[in-house]
Amino acid sequence: MVELTINYWALIAAAAANMAIGALWYGPVFGKQWRKLAGISDEAMKEMPLKAWQAMIGGAVTSLVIAYVLLFFTATWVAPSLEGALMAAFWIWLGFIATTQIGSYLWEGKPLKLFFLNTAYSLISYGVMATILVLWQ
């Protein structure tokens, strides 16, 4: 087993990048389209069970977990290069994210456009995160 050296600053930066990309993606860039495709009205957004700060904490925790797992995969199986980082992000995305998220279309009847919107965010975010983690060692 490879000994994992953790650069905590890179881990935090990758998690912060994930959150920033998500805030832009689901906010000013595609927020209205996402809400429409997901069937979430402005009123429903206000009635969500979590307050905004609670959701942000949950998002930060999940971003740190994703960053750590990406760090593990990239440190274990990827040459420290931009190409290696992007290849790892792509294969992780394809094998675990895209295949899992397609269920919202196949089984929940959500629009295919919503699948593409969500998985495109994940692909971009994972690519940025893996790049930070691999290049900032």
Percentage with pLDDT > 70 across the chain: 99
The predicted structure's pLDDT at residue 94: 96
pLDDT for residue 1 is more than 70: no
Q: Is residue 128 very low, low, confident or very high in pLDDT (cuts 50, 70, 90)? A: very high
- The mean predicted confidence, pLDDT, of the chain is 92
Determine the Cα–Cα distance for residues 11 and 92; give it in Å rounded to an integer.
Answer: 17
pLDDT for residue 2 is more than 70: no
Question: For 130, what's the count of Cα atoms within 13 Å in the CB-facing half-sphere?
Answer: 30
Q: Residues 56-81: pLDDT tens digits?
A: 999 999 999 999 999 988 888 777 78
